[in-house]
Amino acid sequence: MPEGYVLDKPLSLSCPECGGVLRPEQRAGIRQFRCHIGHVLSAETVLVAQFHLLEKKLASVMALLNERAELCQQLAEDARNGGERPSAFEAAAREALARAEIIKRLLEEEWIQPLGDLTGEPPAR
Ligand SMILES: [Zn+2]
């Protein structure tokens, strides 16, 4: 495990269509991006797609933490049935559920949507 994560400036953005590297372009003064297999996207399209991907990945992490908790609970039960102390599995299950709650809050909280609420409403002032 790394000593500590950092938030360096990304060298490039990722194409929401294929995951490839996006190259920035200016067309008639408008910022857009082109990936190496030809997807051409406006900055606004990338911003919205990036947010949907973010929600999907957070939900995936939440589901994985929930599954970790379930597996640890099953292993704790096996340990109890085998006459062993299940405390490490129970602690890991509680930890996974607590961390899943953190992700759940991230998913449920309002996010600033600079282009509006993604349903066509104008942005909040
Ligand atoms: Zn692409």
* Residue scoring higher pLDDT (3 or 97): 97
Residues paired with 33 in a beta bridge: 24, 41
Region 112-123 average pLDDT: 73
40-42, strands of its sheet edge to edge: 13-14, 21-27, 30-35, 40-42
Query: pLDDT tens, 66-115?
Result: 999 999 999 999 999 999 998 999 999 999 999 999 999 999 999 999 99
Q: Is the pLDDT of residue 1 over 80?
A: no
**What is the per-residue pLDDT for 12?**
95
Distance 8 CA to ligand 1 centre (A): 23
Domain chopping of the chain, boundaries: 21-108
- Total-model pTM: 0.84
Instruction: Quote the CA–CA distance of 25 and 48 in Å, as a whole number.
Output: 18
**What is the per-residue pLDDT for 87?**
95
Instruction: Quote the CA–CA distance of 99 and 94 in Å, as a whole number.
Output: 9
**What is the per-residue pLDDT for 124?**
52
Distance 22 CA to ligand 1 centre (A): 7
Query: pLDDT tens, 14-37?
Result: 999 999 999 999 999 999 999 999
Asked if 4 and 11 touch (Cβ cutoff 8 Å), the reply is no
Query: pLDDT tens, 83-92?
Result: 999 899 999 9
Distance 20 CA to ligand 1 centre (A): 5
Distance 33 CA to ligand 1 centre (A): 10
